[in-house]
Amino acid sequence: MHVDFLAKGPQNFFNQFNFFDQADPTQGVQEYVSFPTASETYLIGHMGAAHSAFSNAKSVYLGLASNGTHMTAPRISSKAAFSPGMLLLADIGHMPAGCGTWPAMWMLGSGTWPLHGEIDIIENVNSVGYNQMTLHTGPGCDIKSDSASAFTGKVLTSDCDTNAPGQDKNAGCGIQAPPNPTAASFGPEYNKQGGGLWAMEWTTSSISIWYMPPSTGKIPSVLSNQAPNPEALFGKPLARFAGAGCDYGKSFQEMNLIFNTALCGDWAGDAWTTAGTCAASTGKSSCAASVASAGAGLNDAFWIINALRIYT
Active centre residues (catalytic): 118, 123
Q: What is the dihedral of CA 230, 82, 110, 92, to 10 degrees?
A: 50
CB of 119 within 8 A of CB of 84? Answer: no
The enclosing H or E element of 12 equals: helix 10-13
Q: Alpha-carbon distance 100 to 279, whole Å?
A: 10
What is the 8-class DSSP label of residue 82? B
For 187, phi then psi, to 5°, come to 85, -165
What three-state secondary structure class fits 23? coil
Q: Alpha-carbon distance 58 to 106, whole Å?
A: 22
Q: What is the dihedral of CA 129, 57, 87, 178, to 10 degrees?
A: -10
Strand order in the sheet with 71-73: 31-32, 71-73, 65-66
Q: What is the dihedral of CA 221, 224, 225, 226, to 10 degrees?
A: -140
149, with CB counted inside 10 A (0-12, 13-18, 19+), is exposed
Q: Which of 52, 64, 42 is nearest to 5 (CA)?
A: 52
For 163, phi then psi, to 5°, come to -115, 30
Q: Alpha-carbon distance 50 to 131, whole Å?
A: 22
CB of 189 within 8 A of CB of 219? Answer: no
What three-state secondary structure class fits 265? helix
